[in-house]
Structure 1
Amino acid sequence: MHQVHVVGLGVDHRDITPTASRLIDSAEVLAGGDRLLALFNDHPAVKILIKSPLKNVIDRINQEMQSHRKVVVLADGDPLFFGIGKRLIDAFGKDAVIIYPNVTTLQVAASKLKIPWHDIKSISLHGRKDIQPLLTALVGNNRVAVFTEPDFSPAKVADELIRRGADTFNMHVFEDLETETEKTRCFELKDAVKQTFSPLNFIILNRIKQAVISLSLGLDDDLYLHQRGLITKREIRVAGLSSLEIEPHHTLWDLGAGCGSVAIEASLLAYEGIVLAVEKAPERIQLIRQNISRMCAYGVEVIHGEMPECLESLPDPHRVFIGGGMGKDNSVLEAATERLRPGGKLVLHLVLMGSMARARDYLKDLKWPFSITQLQVSRSKDLAGDHRLEALNPVFIISAKKPALRL
């Protein structure tokens, strides 16, 4: 069987086992990134530069393996910890890939701070166009480690976190670890923005403030800052979230987000996905941002704009919630149903019978399966030493599913 050996180099690249050293010395083909290959400029092996697209690199490695050459792939730390190891196993199978792990950057960084690392959430921004995975990781973790990249330097990450209101963390930056120019510094985010860092860096974000309000499903209405009456009531909110059947990786549109209560609680469910709160009124946008900050619901991104025009640049959703009314026409509903992914779910909360009828007729014309539920909630009020029930407005909940594509 043709095999590929994947050797993890330590943060100090001289720190490798005798076995790993012999493998590298005897390699006929060395594959790795620019920085790692530069450590072996004098090595006589054929060199394969690992760069995007990875498919081309995998194909080249496979060609060398099929030619019975001894292939060694160089990686940082543990090749299966945000490394190339998984990609190689997916391509060649477990039996064809031999892994030689080393100490990771996270382990070394944690040792510098003298903190345990087993419960530090780790994310990588390599190849990313946004920091969404970082924002979602910050919601439920007190420490988050970040593998950066040139487009997301520590200064850029700090700037993005400030822009999204994630000011409850400070930033430890580790530069040139295990070298003569090593630095370990701690910053408030506002100070990190002004700094210049070595390209070889690593971040640990540490929570310094807890949320004003602990985020959970079905929070009391009064815990949200909102305009009078413009909030999806707790009982209705929970029913809507249940109807949406949100999965961790989903992208959700909350259209007409109001104070953001549905989007904020949905972010607990779509913790590996994207939650977009779309609202046109500037004063409500401000309320959404304040609620996000108070609850540390950093996984929610606020979109300020007029619908349906502002939806054009958003990623296609798996789930759409419309709770801010249907508007005067069906333009928002049309945009939502067109962009919803096949198999996705649409949930509407409607108070007016005319809006309910219009949405029902529209979905019938689309031939989508849907259901309508009327939810009537009453809450207790004190009266003469006893209690009475006070009814809230009944709400129609329409739940529809977009047919899956036929193969």
Structure 2
Amino acid sequence: MSKCWLNVVGVTALGTHSLAPEQQALLDQAKIIVGPPRSLPKVRDTDDRFVVWESPLDNMVKQILSYRGTPTVILATGDPTWYGIGATLTAHLDEHEFAIHPAPSAFSLAAARMKWPLQNVKCVSVHGRPVEILHSHIVPGQRILALTSDATTVQAIANILNLRGYGESQLTVLNAMGGETESRIEFLAKNQSTKGIGNLNTVAIDCVADDRAPILPPLPGLPDGAFVHDGQLTKREVRAATLAKLCPLPGQHLWDVGAGSGSVAIEWMRGAPRATATCFERHVARIEMIEKNRVALGAPGLKIISGQAPESFQDVTPPDAIFIGGDVGNESLFEACWAALKPGGRLVANAVTLDGEVALVARLEKFGGDFARIEVSHLDAIGAHKTLRPRMAVTQWNVTKTVGDE
């Protein structure tokens, strides 16, 4: 039996009727029981221990912390560590204060219903999150299980699939899994339907691309045409090399300084789980482009700071990596970036002018790192003949900041 003051207990669509004897004993011993309305059927009006949790999430956390020291149970849907309150509490409580008792997650139940090997499925939550995050996972052959907010989310998912050229994708809506009213609705994205779809559902998506659907994999190096831009774009081959040296890692944060279209920051976020980024851009028209690109390419959480760098660096999440794609020769800009970069962080700067190259050579001498010249030619025509026409060469400096570097 748990000795913690707080126990987070997972339930299925059957609510408290789904609890095993051990979890039921925790419920019996609790002084306070907190949960969403659907977890408290029939009993919330007859037992004054039951409290509906507050929203939004910050209010709920404060509510729970106010019960500290009192035997408390939180009833959560499924597995509380899968996009649930169990994971959230780790930032607010010591691990010895609470225990988690999971029920089968919606992902596990959905995989079982679909007969899909769960290890080969992308599990995503768009419950209370922008549905556009699905964009980065939509590729041919991908199977996705998506937690939703309500019935309207299903229509939004179908709209995104149709927009991307994935209208032949099969959608299976699994309503109230594990409950008495469980049901299943199937249709192709192009034939989207709202009939029979409940507000408590999980969607299984089997991605099938049309013949002309653009292929946008999570690996760096998306086609230049995938971005809205005005020409100020780190081109595909250079961008792939840049991201390889920036090295996107789970949960790390990138500064994209002079972001242009935001291509590097967007691909950084697509490249690693929970990776985040901030774009610094002073041109209003380009900020509008970044806003369009972050939604269309599955990075709606990308932060955009308007204004002149480095003055705009105030009160921004410290970076694990920095990309400088513009104004490379600006020494005060570089110094501010270098000061903000965490020890162990990576900095990559791309120069296309002689002034920029001179500045990078001086920094190479002072800080070390690596130098590369990237020259790319693309197919073109001279009259009736084919040729390879070179693009502007890019000089790239990358360096890792070590402890003691200034």
Q: TM-score, normalised by structure 2?
A: 0.64
- Hey, what does 2:27 align to over in structure 1? 24
Unaligned runs of 5+ in 2: 378-388
Which residue of structure 2 aligns with residue 10 of structure 1? 12
Structure 1 gaps of 5+ residues are: 66-70, 380-389
- The answer as to 2:118 corresponding to 1:120 is no
Q: Distance in 2 between matches of 1:304 and 1:86?
A: 27
Q: Is the 8 A contact 1:251 1:275 kept in 2?
A: yes
1:35 counterpart = 2:35? no
Q: Is the 8 A contact 1:79 1:99 kept in 2?
A: yes
The aligned residue for residue 208 of structure 2 is 208
Question: Residue 126 of structure 1 contacts residue 147 of structure 1 at CA under 8 Å; is this kept in 2?
Answer: yes
Q: Say if 1:156 and 1:193, in contact at 8 Å, map to a contact too.
A: no
Distance 2:273 2:32 in 1: 41
Q: Which residue of 2 aligns with 1:59?
A: 65
Rounded Cα–Cα distance in structure 2 between residues aligned with 1:206 and 1:45: 45
Please list the CA deviations of residues 303-335 of structure 1 after superposition, one character each: whole Å capped at 9, or x if unmatched: 9999969xx8xx866544355x649x969968x
- Cα distance between partner residues in 1 of 2:140 and 2:332: 33
Instruction: Work out whether 1:174 is the aligned partner of 2:174.
Output: yes
Give the whole-Å Cα distance in 1 for the aligned partners of 2:399 and 2:67: 48
SS of the equivalent of 1:12 reads: coil
Verify: 1:373 aligned to 2:379, yes or no: no
1:57-107 per-position Cα deviation (integer Å, ceiling 9, x unaligned): 332332413xxxxx333222233333333445662424x545443333233
Give, in angstroms, the shift of residue 260 of structure 1.
8.6
User: Quick check: 270-279 or 175-184, which moved more?
Assistant: 270-279
Distance 1:43 1:20, change over 3 A: farther
1:252-302 CA distance string (max 9 Å, x none): 4667889998567645633432468989999xx79x97xx99xxx745999
What is residue 273 of structure 1 aligned with on the other side?
275
Query: Matched residue of 2:70: which SS?
Result: helix
CA contact (8 A) 1:165 1:298 kept: no
Q: Residues 15-50 of structure 1, C-alpha deviation per residue, up to 9 Å, x if partnerless?
A: 332443444345432221222134422543523333
Alignment match, 1:68: none
Question: Is 1:395 aligned to residue 403 of structure 2?
Answer: no
Residues 110-138 of structure 1, C-alpha deviations (whole Å, 9 max, x = no match): 3433434343332334454x346544444
**Aligned mates of 1:298, 1:27 — CA distance in 2:** 42
The 2-side partners of 1:61 and 1:242 are apart by 47
Whole-angstrom distance in 1 between the partners of 2:75 and 2:301: 38
| Conserved? CA contact 2:242–2:348, under 8 Å | yes
What is the aligned partner in structure 1 of residue 86 from structure 2?
85
Matched to 1:113, the amino acid is: M
The aligned counterpart of 2:382 is: none
Task: Report the equivalent of 1:145.
Answer: 145
Instruction: Name the CA distance, whole Å, in 1 between partners of 2:320 and 2:219.
Output: 20
2:357 alignment counterpart: 356
Higher alpha-carbon deviation: 30-39 or 395-404? 395-404
CA deviation vs aligned residue, 1:343-388 (integer Å, no higher than 9, x gap): 6654232222033346779x89xxx957572526599xxxxxxxxx
Q: Does structure 2 retain, via aligned residues, the 8 Å contact 1:370–1:400?
A: yes
Question: Tell me, what secondary structure is at the counterpart of 1:208?
Answer: coil
In structure 1, what is the Cα distance between the partners aligned to 2:140 and 2:268? Answer: 14
Match of 1:44 among 38, 47, 50: 47
More displaced stretch, 109-118 vs 185-194: 185-194
1:72 aligns with 2:92: no
CA distance in 1, matches of 2:267, 2:88: 34
Q: Is the 8 A contact 2:78 2:105 kept in 1?
A: yes
Shift of 1:180: 5.7
Cα distance change of structure 1 residues 370 and 238 upon mapping to structure 2, 3 Å threshold: farther
Q: 1:73 is aligned with what amino acid?
A: I
Query: Counterpart of 2:105?
Result: 104
Taking the aligned partners of 1:244 and 1:19, their CA distance within structure 2 comes to: 49
- Contact 1:148 1:201 (8 Å CA) reproduced: yes
CA positional deviation for 1:144: 2.1
Verify the 8 A CA contact 1:213 1:223 in the aligned structure 2. Answer: no
Match of 2:199 in 1: 199
1:186 shift after superposition: 2.9
Give me the whole-angstrom Cα distance separating, in 1, the residues matched to 2:224 and 2:7: 59
Q: 1:116, 1:376 → 2: CA distance?
A: 42
Distance change >3 Å, CA 125–CA 231, structure 1 → 2: closer
Output the CA distance in 1 between the equivalents of 2:22 and 2:222: 60
Q: Percent identity?
A: 23
| Code of the aligned partner of 2:200 | L
SS of 1:112's equivalent in the other structure is helix
Task: In structure 2, give the amino acid aligned to 1:148.
Answer: T
Aligned twin of 1:240: 242
2-side partners of 1:358 and 1:269: how far apart? Answer: 30
The answer as to whether partners of 1:244 and 1:319 remain within 8 angstroms in 2 is yes
Instruction: Please provide the CA RMSD for this pair.
Output: 5.6
TM-aligned CA deviation for residue 399 of structure 1? 3.8
Contact 2:44 2:50 in 1 (8 A): no
- The corresponding residue for 1:154 is 154
> Per the alignment, do residues 203 and 308 of structure 1 end up closer, same or farther by CA in structure 2, a change over 3 Å counting?
farther
